[in-house]
Amino acid sequence: MTNAPQYQPAPGQQATPADYPGKTLGLVGFILSIVVPVVGLILSLVARSQSKSAGFENKWAKIGIIVGIILTILGIIAFIINMAVLLPMLQQY
């Protein structure tokens, strides 16, 4: 019996992992940061933390954090403006 040659990757080339920790969660966090900003922001923060501890950069999580913060702030501003406009109108009745 002859042994079949075993091929190894060339020196300097490492097999890249197909998935890294927090990748899917980062994408989900980004999508939710558009729909439900506070939840998306929290998930994106968790995904970035998982990826960072594993030594990977998670772009989706970073974008989800930015979008989540911006939309959360805009939501708070819209709520304050609505209350400032509606409360005086309701007090007339």
Sequence spans of domains, the chain: 23-91
Tens-digit pLDDT profile for the chain (93 aa)? 566 666 665 565 554 555 788 899 999 999 999 999 999 999 999 999 999 998 999 999 999 999 999 999 999 999 999 999 998 888 887
Say what the pLDDT of residue 9 is.
59
Say what the pLDDT of residue 45 is.
96
Q: Model pTM greater than 0.75?
A: no
Please provide the DSSP assignment of 34-88 as one string: HHSHHHHHHHHHHHHHHHHHHT---HHHHHHHHHHHHHHHHHHHHHHHHHHHHHH
